[in-house]
């Protein structure tokens, strides 16, 4: 039986033998894509290299990438959905194309994973106004050994992959594993992509286009290949399991819980165990990559994952800290694949314990009030806006409200109203906290303008010294000093503060030009501009650049070149709130 770690090993060895350079997984927090909270695929950290036309380490690359997708967080609880998952991938940057890619896949699946050839079915792109029908791929599959009858042509929904709304994309061909070989199809047209007896195991994308903001397609500088294979799913397939949670990735954790509860993996508890296992594993990796629970961005996703897992555990009947053995298990399980988690076990335990203490106090009250409320409603229907009240007042994330509603046989309607209210709430609290466009700036006092440019330099310097995890969380400027809040999980050392201060002063000395242009917000994001009040921006925004050191979406005003800023001095660094640091600084002019 092949385990998930063996699958990874075999995969990377195979592609190494085919001339690929094996690169480590990128962290879960995108380093150069402000439009996404998490890395969502093996391809995601590669997107920029497709745009640039080459990868710095070679034109054949392979890796195993840790990923998080939270679009269907509420689906988690069935046998196959996950928020965190691992993805194997191999890439060609303008090197091999369809023919070799398909040959590699077929060879690896049949010779190295020993999958019987008659279990393999494939789909290829049927063609539309964007790209032609992919007869070429179909031909190569046939040459490799897949008969015509097991090749299906499908449309964009199935056979097209894009990294996001804009950016690299292209037609793909997918490989499916038949769990019931030899059985006739339900109907001639119902093959892979239609009948769940076929499980998708590999996706080979032919990345040749770059989707523009206006929807048009531009050709990428080279013809590329991007493939992705989900580790959890393929492991289950290879082990003949329909339930991913039955593989060694989760099972020892769940089995121990089932034993502890005394009820086994009973039908009633199954969904809860899966939620616990999935969300806690995701939380472990998100924390390992430097995030802590909060009410914004990645921190908010982490908070939701932890709270939902905790609540599920409490429903099973577990007491405090029930997740500690699970963390130990995954830590040992993943350490070899991701050596970067080495120092993270204690931290994960502490962060979740801290959140647990906070949450256990508020949850009981919230749930009681929510039940009371639902009992008074006709058919136990609650609107998104009402659900938001329970978030705002009791800290119940939407998924938990949804869980309670589901358990009581009710329904949430107008869900999008929750998100709208949530955004408004964040905007209000941030605007109040930041107060950035009031006072100093509105008066355009020259000292405040210098301070404002210094704030941009400070943010860029912090990110250079401390890494891309640093994000603006607030800012306030007056004529005497600037205050800058940013996400970071510990105090800065003296040495770091000195480096940041020196770097800002160096950039002031370099007398860099400060320029702005007006672009579409989507374009600004693609340019890598840092943005703060994301939801508040108009379609077109002003982007300020300082040399090639800083790029931010901002209303201005700023000085014309950095030498006007004066001498930058950090006055103080302290904690602002959990996971947020605050720096006071000033600029002095002669």
Nearest-CB residue for ligand SER: 228
The smaller minimum CB distance to ligand SER, of residues 44 and 450, is found at 44
CA distance 126 to 158: 10
Count of residues making up the chain:
590
**Residue with the two structure tokens 């894509």:** 33
Q: How far is the CB of 290 from ligand SER (least distance, A)?
A: 24
E-assigned strands of 511-579? 514-520, 540-546, 550-553, 567-577
List the structure tokens of 241.
């399991």
| Minimal distance, residue 241 CB to ligand SER, in Å | 21
Distance from C-alpha of 14 to C-alpha of 443, rounded to nearest angstrom: 64
Q: Which member of 123, 166, 227, 247 binds ligand SER (CB under 6 A)? A: 227
Q: For residues 39 and 305, which CB has a smaller minimum distance to ligand SER in the complex?
A: 39
User: Which residue number, 205 or 451, has a Cβ lying nearer to ligand SER?
Assistant: 205
Q: Is the peptide bond before 337 cis (omega within 30 degrees of 0)?
A: no
95, 226, 232, 269: residue in contact with ligand SER (rule CB under 6 A) = 226
Question: What is the DSSP secondary-structure string of 189-228?
Answer: T--TTT-TTEEEEEEEEEEEEEE-TTS-EEEEEEEEEEEE
Residue 42 near ligand SER by CB under 6 A: yes
State in angstroms the smallest separation of the CB of 20 from ligand SER: 14
Q: What is the closest distance, in whole angstroms, from the C-beta atom of residue 14 to ligand SER in the complex?
A: 16
Return d(Cα 345, Cα 296) in angstroms, integer: 24
User: In angstroms, what is the minimal distance from the CB of 580 to ligand SER?
Assistant: 33
Query: What is the closest distance, in whole angstroms, from the C-beta atom of residue 205 to ligand SER in the complex?
Result: 5
Closest approach of ligand SER to the CB of residue 88, in Å = 9
Q: Considering only 36-44, 241-249, 426-434, 504-512, which stretch makes contact with ligand SER by CB under 6 A?
A: 36-44
What is the bridge-based pairing of β-strands 60-68 and 550-553?
Answer: unpaired
- Taking a C-beta distance cutoff of 8 angstroms, is the pair 426, 469 a contact? no
Count, residues near ligand SER per rule CB under 6 A: 10
Based on CB atoms, which residue is closest to ligand SER, 161 or 359?
161
d(CA 260, CA 192): 40
Residue 390 makes contact with ligand SER by CB under 6 A: no
Residue 65 has φ and ψ, to the nearest 5°, of -115, 135
Choice between 223 and 542, CB closer to ligand SER? 223
Check binding of 25 to ligand SER (CB under 6 A).
no
Shortest reach from residue 334's CB to ligand SER, in Å? 20
Comparing CB distances to ligand SER, the nearer of 226 and 289 is 226
User: x-or-dash pattern for ligand SER, window 417-436, by CB under 6 A?
Assistant: --------------------
The DSSP element (H or E) to which 461 belongs, if any, is helix 446-466
Member of 228, 299, 395, 566 binding ligand SER (CB under 6 A): 228
If DSSP states are collapsed to H, E and C, what string results for 370-403?
Answer: HHHHHHHCHHHEEEHHHHHHHHHHHCCCHHHHHH
Q: Which of 203, 455, 475, 586 binds ligand SER (CB under 6 A)?
A: 203
Structure tokens at 205: 């994308």
Q: Residues 161, 177, 209, 394: which binds ligand SER (CB under 6 A)?
A: 161
Tokens of 495: 């040495």
Q: How far apart are CA 87 and CA 281, in angstroms?
A: 15
Which of these segments, 101-109, 221-229, 382-390, 518-526, binds ligand SER (CB under 6 A)? 221-229
Smallest distance, ligand SER to C-beta of residue 172, A: 7
Place of tokens 């399991």: 241
Q: Which is nearer to ligand SER, 63 or 552 (CB)?
A: 63
Q: Is 89 in the site for ligand SER (CB under 6 A)?
A: yes
Q: Which stretch binds ligand SER (CB under 6 A): 1-9, 38-46, 175-183, 312-320?
A: 38-46
Give the phi and the psi of residue 51 in degrees, each rounded to 5.
-65, -40
Region near ligand SER per CB under 6 A, out of 40-48, 242-250, 307-315, 410-418: 40-48
Q: Does 43 bind ligand SER (CB under 6 A)?
A: yes
| Beta-carbon count within 10 A of 540 CB | 11
Beta pairing, strands 21-22 & 60-68: parallel
**CA dist., res. 28 & res. 37, Å (int):** 9
To ligand SER, the closest distance from the beta carbon of 303 in angstroms equals: 26
Binding segment for ligand SER among 223-231, 325-333, 389-397, 442-450 (CB under 6 A)?
Answer: 223-231
Compare residues 224 and 576 and give the one whose CB is closer to ligand SER.
224
Residue 123 CB, nearest distance to ligand SER (Å)?
A: 13
Cα 385 from Cα 414, distance rounded (Å): 8
Does 41 engage in binding with ligand SER (CB under 6 A)?
yes
CB of 108 to ligand SER, least distance (A): 15
Nearest-approach distance from CB 26 to ligand SER, in angstroms: 14
Question: How far is C-alpha 427 from the geometric centre of its chain's CA atoms?
Answer: 22
CB of 161 to ligand SER, least distance (A): 5
When asked if residue 205 is in the footprint of ligand SER (CB under 6 A), the reply is yes
Could you tell me the CA-to-CA distances from 186 to 12, 153, 195, 196, 200 in Å, in that order? 37, 17, 8, 11, 18
Identify which range of 116-124, 149-157, 226-234, 399-407 contacts ligand SER by CB under 6 A: 226-234
Nearest to 234 by CA among 425, 433, 510, 5: 5
Beta carbon nearer to ligand SER, 90 or 247: 90
Burial 37-63 (b: 16+ CB within 10 A, else e): bbbbbbbbbbbbbbeeeebeeebbbbb
77 binds ligand SER (CB under 6 A): no
Stretch that binds ligand SER, among 35-43, 313-321, 411-419, 493-501 (CB under 6 A): 35-43
Strand ranges (DSSP E) for 434-566? 472-477, 482-487, 514-520, 540-546, 550-553
Nearer to ligand SER, 25 or 472 (CB): 25
- Residues at the contact surface with ligand SER, assessed by CB under 6 A: 41-43, 89, 161, 203, 205, 226-228
């Amino acid at each position: 039986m092949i385990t998930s770690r063996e699958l990874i090993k075999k995969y990377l060895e195979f592609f190494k033998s085919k001339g690929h350079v094996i690169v480590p997984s990128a962290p879960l927090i995108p380093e150069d894509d402000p439009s996404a909270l998490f890395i969502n695929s093996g391809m995601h950290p590669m997107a920029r290299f497709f745009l640039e036309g080459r990868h710095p380490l070679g034109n054949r690359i392979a890796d195993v990438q840790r990923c998080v997708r939270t679009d269907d967080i509420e689906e988690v609880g069935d046998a196959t959905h996950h928020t965190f998952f691992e993805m194997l991938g191999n890439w060609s940057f303008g090197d091999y194309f369809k023919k070799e890619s398909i040959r590699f896949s077929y060879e690896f699946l049949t010779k190295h994973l020993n999958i019987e050839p008659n279990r393999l079915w494939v789909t290829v792109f049927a063609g539309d106004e964007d790209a032609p029908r992919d007869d070429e791929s179909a031909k190569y599959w046939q040459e490799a050994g897949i008969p015509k009858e097991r090749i299906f042509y499908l449309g964009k929904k199935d056979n097209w992959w894009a990294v996001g709304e804009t950016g690299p994309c292209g037609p793909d061909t997918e490989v499916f594993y038949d769990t019931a070989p030899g059985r006739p199809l339900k109907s001639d047209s119902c093959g892979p992509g239609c009948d769940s007896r076929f499980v998708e195991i590999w996706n080979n994308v032919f990345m040749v286009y770059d989707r523009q903001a206006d929807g048009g397609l531009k050709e990428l500088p080279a013809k590329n290949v991007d493939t992705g294979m989900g580790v959890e799913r393929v492991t289950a397939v290879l082990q003949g399991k329909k339930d991913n949670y039955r593989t060694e990735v989760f099972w020892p954790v769940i089995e121990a819980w089932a034993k502890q509860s005394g009820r086994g993996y009973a039908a009633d508890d199954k969904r809860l165990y899966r939620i616990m296992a999935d969300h806690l594993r995701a939380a472990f990796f998100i924390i390992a990559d430097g995030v802590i629970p909060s009410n914004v961005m990645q921190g908010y996703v982490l908070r939701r994952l932890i709270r939902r897992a905790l609540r599920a555990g409490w429903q099973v009947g577990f007491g405090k800290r029930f997740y500690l053995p699970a963390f130990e298990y995954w830590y040992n399980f993943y350490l070899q694949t991701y050596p970067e988690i080495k120092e993270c076990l204690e931290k994960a335990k502490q962060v979740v314990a801290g959140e647990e203490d906070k949450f256990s106090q508020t949850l009981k009250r919230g749930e009681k009030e929510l039940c009371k409320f639902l009992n008074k409603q006709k058919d136990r229907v609650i609107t998104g806006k009402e659900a938001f009240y329970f978030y705002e007042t009791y800290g119940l994330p939407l998924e938990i409200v949804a869980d309670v509603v589901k358990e009581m046989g009710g329904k949430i309607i107008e869900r999008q109203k929750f998100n709208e209210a949530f955004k408004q709430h964040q905007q209000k609290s941030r605007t109040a906290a930041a107060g950035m466009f009031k006072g100093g700036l509105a008066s355009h006092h020259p000292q405040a303008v210098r301070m404002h440019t210094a704030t941009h330099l400070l943010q860029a310097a912090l990110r250079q010294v401390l890494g891309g995890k640093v994000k603006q969380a607030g800012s306030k400027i007056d004529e005497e000093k600037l205050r800058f809040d940013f996400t970071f999980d510990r105090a800065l050392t003296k040495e770091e503060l000195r480096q940041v201060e020196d770097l800002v002063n160096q950039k002031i000395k370099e007398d860099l030009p400060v320029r702005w242009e007006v672009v579409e917000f989507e374009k600004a994001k693609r340019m890598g501009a840092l943005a703060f009040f994301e939801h508040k921006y108009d379609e077109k925004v002003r982007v300020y650049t300082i040399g090639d050191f800083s790029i931010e979406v901002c209303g201005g005003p700023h000085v014309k070149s950095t030498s006007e800023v004066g001498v930058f001095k950090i006055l103080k660094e302290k904690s602002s709130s959990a996971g947020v640091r605050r720096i006071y600084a000033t600029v002095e002019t002669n």
